[in-house]
Amino acid sequence: MRALTCNDYGSPEYLTIEEWDDPLPGDKEILFDVRAAGLNFADVLIIAGKYQVQTPTQFIPGNEAAGIVTAVGKDVTRFSVGDRIIGALRGGAFAEKAVVEEDLAIPLPEEMGFEQGAAYSIAYGTSYHALKQGANLKPGETVLVLGAAGGVGNTAVEIAKAMGGTVIAAASTDEKLAFAKEAGADETINYYDMPLKETVKEMTGGKGVDVVYDPVGGDLAEQALRATGWQGRYLVVGFASGDIPKFPANLTLLKEARIVGVWWGPWAARHTDEMLANMQELQTMVANGKVRPRVTRAFALDEVVGAFRLITERRELGKVVLTID
């Protein structure tokens, strides 16, 4: 099979397309033909060797994909050959074939094509877990979403609205804010033109927000934490800016605020039943039209450099995927 290959840590431009032996499923694993694979900022860090957990080279990157089941292990009970599937993988998605653990796989809903399915598991799984288990978001609460037009942030806008929240979307351009507005944002902030904390306070009548969803980090992080209200929850989702923020601890004391880390993959592996329940609830939201994976660009395997450039330069709107024939 053909697969994008990382032979040495570095930029995505050094990935090569190489021939690999077809993978074989273990007893509780599923082999599927990959039709589309989702790109995430975490992939950039993994390829560069800068992620929280390093993957030894040589490897096939990519952690989410959608396709058609071609073989199942002897202990697999929920899937059969020919099923359409979405998989959250531990690497290996950027290839013609991939293997996924049954516990980290869900059926591809009838309402979705393969490209939408490839944009679904990690981004939507992360955002729903963050807002449900991490923030315990209640209807009527206010959520500030940073990076609100990106592949993860845009899902947080949709899900927070579906959960009954009021959403303030923050992004760096008016084009991105318009995209977030289309996803359901109630208010928008261009944080290059407007002071984040002061604008949030004004929008909330001085109260501050109940929840901050932050996949960006960097200089905006402390401003966003200062924009929380009493017993606010600050969700640390990622660091797309490239900078890991440091917070004055007294900010949490003064508001009884909580800083909550969100890492969906390890949580899903440890809490499979909860994860599957979350995904079922998300599928209901999809069927009811409350959320819709928004794929704006699709690239072939040999166009991966251009695909990743959209992400590293933070120019993507919604989700970017690779399509595999």
**Domain CATH number, residue 110:** 3.90.180.10
Q: Is 3 left (phi over 0), alpha (psi -120 to 50) or beta?
A: beta
Clarify whether residues 108 and 89 are in a common domain. yes
- Segments forming the whole domain that contains residue 217: 123-265
- Nearest residue to 128 (alpha-carbon basis) of 256, 295, 267: 267
Compute, in degrees rounded to 10, the torsion defined by CA atoms 139, 144, 150, 156: -20
Clarify whether residues 223 and 302 are in a common domain. no
Mark which of 265, 285, 309 sits at the end of a domain: 265
Write down the pLDDT at residue 314. Answer: 82
Confidence of residue 33 (pLDDT cuts 50, 70, 90): very high
- Nearest residue to 88 (alpha-carbon basis) of 128, 29, 131: 29
Clarify whether residues 112 and 226 are in a common domain. no
Clarify whether residues 94 and 156 are in a common domain. no
Residue 280 maps to a domain: no
Backbone dihedral angles phi then psi of residue 93, each to the nearest 5 degrees: -80, -25
Structural domain count, the chain: 2
Within the chain, how many helices (H) and strands (E) appear? Answer: 11, 15
Q: Which helix or strand (DSSP H or E) is residue 230 part of?
A: strand 228-236
Confidence of residue 315 (pLDDT cuts 50, 70, 90): confident
CB distance 35 to 64 below 8 Å: no
Clarify whether residues 75 and 176 are in a common domain. no
Mark which of 265, 284, 308 sits at the end of a domain: 265
Residue 15 maps to a domain: yes
Confidence of residue 111 (pLDDT cuts 50, 70, 90): confident
Residues 6+ apart with CB under 8 A from 301: 2, 4, 17, 94, 322, 324
**pLDDT (tens digit, 9 = 90+) per residue, 281-295?**
999 999 899 999 999
DSSP secondary structure of 38-92: E--HHHHHHHHT-SSSPPPSSB---SEEEEEEEEE-TT--S--TT-EEEEE-SS-
CB distance 93 to 65 below 8 Å: yes
Write down the pLDDT at residue 154. Answer: 96
Clarify whether residues 21 and 134 are in a common domain. no
CATH number at residue 200: 3.40.50.720
DSSP lists the bridge partners of residue 86 as 66, 106
Clarify whether residues 141 and 251 are in a common domain. yes
Cβ neighbours of 271 (radius 10 Å): 14
Residue 277 maps to a domain: no
Q: Mean pLDDT across the chain, nearest whole number?
A: 95
Write down the pLDDT at residue 53. Answer: 85
Residue 283 maps to a domain: no
How far is residue 152's CA from residue 180's CA, in Å, rounded to a whole number? 12
Which position has the token pair 């806008």? 157
**pLDDT (tens digit, 9 = 90+) per residue, 214-267?**
999 999 999 999 999 999 999 999 998 888 999 999 999 999 999 999 999 899
**pLDDT (tens digit, 9 = 90+) per residue, 158-194?**
999 999 999 999 999 999 999 999 999 999 999 999 9
Confidence of residue 312 (pLDDT cuts 50, 70, 90): confident
Residue 27 maps to a domain: yes
Clarify whether residues 183 and 307 are in a common domain. no
Residue 29 maps to a domain: yes
Clarify whether residues 159 and 100 are in a common domain. no
Residue 288 maps to a domain: no
Is the predicted pLDDT of residue 52 greater than 90, yes or no?
no
**pLDDT (tens digit, 9 = 90+) per residue, 74-87?**
999 999 999 999 99
Clarify whether residues 116 and 166 are in a common domain. no
Tokens representing 156?
């947080």
Mark which of 229, 250, 265 sits at the end of a domain: 265
Which position has the token pair 């077809």? 22
Record the pTM: 0.92
DSSP secondary structure of 243-298: ------THHHHHHT-EEEE--HHHHHHH-HHHHHHHHHHHHHHHHTTS----EEEE
Residue 287 maps to a domain: no
Clarify whether residues 73 and 202 are in a common domain. no
CB distance 28 to 101 below 8 Å: yes
Clarify whether residues 32 and 129 are in a common domain. no
Q: What percent of the chain has pLDDT over 70?
A: 100
